Amino acid sequence: MITPRRVLVTGMSGLIGGIAGRHLAKSHEVVALNRRPVDGVPTFQADINDIAAIRPAFLGIDTVVQLAAYMGDDPHGYLTTNVVGVYNVFEAAREAGVRRIVFGSSGSTVTGYCREPDIVALMEARWHDVVEPRRLLTHLTPVRPDSVYGAVKVFGEALGRYYSDAHGMSVLCIRIGPVLADDWPHDSRQAASYCSHRDVAQIIERCVNAPDSLRFDVYYGVSNNRGRYRDIAHAREAIGYVPLDGITDWPMARPAR
């Protein structure tokens, strides 16, 4: 049985935030923390870089889904929104007694491995060069970002580990693969780590509904793609995530759903 919770979604005007928030609203009370109003959803309008402004949004909240992020080209944006802003979300949640944060991390935390020949073969859909059993990056694989964006997502995961240990919060991190507006990969690289709209909604919902005893963990949010080099077995075992979609070959025609 799913216990209805009061869920705060940050960044709900974004693609993933909108998908997740509206899906969660089917079984939970969802409110948004956003810089602009979100249609059809109660919205606290504030910037996560301003902790005083965002504090009221966390009152009475059971679970926070942290999806607000800066993804531009300005390093200052990463240091504000993705470092200071993420800290503000964790701290405001702690002050308000929030029991769980679902942190929207990224596969960029490990994309440094994409220089390795075996993973390059998968990303280029060169199936004849893939050696089985293939190497999969798991939640235990050391992080290896290849960008400032990936590095600050590593910071968010580490901050979550600290808040879980120091303050008893449940923090579940999802390393989300490419979620695309048209819900379909544009090249073989995206096809290897693609995450469908249905699958990103599912894994976030699974984290929100996970047992309270689950204190800290990291999962890969990807669909069951032929070129997949990120592990999904751990998410299946821990929270019951089973992808509904996947890219079974590349190139391939888009199936009807």
Query: How far, rounded to the nearest angstrom, does the alpha carbon of residue 11 sit from its chain's CA centroid?
Result: 12
Q: Give the whole-angstrom CA distance, residue 240 versus residue 207.
A: 9
- Quick one: which of 139, 148, 82 has its CA closest to 112? 148
* Strand, coil or helix: 169: coil
In the chain, where does DSSP find H-type helix?
15-24, 51-54, 75-79, 86-96, 117-123, 148-167, 188-193, 197-209, 233-239
Q: Give the whole-angstrom CA distance, residue 143 versus residue 157.
A: 10
Query: Which residues form the catalytic set?
Result: 149
Q: Give the whole-angstrom CA distance, residue 35 versus residue 150.
A: 23
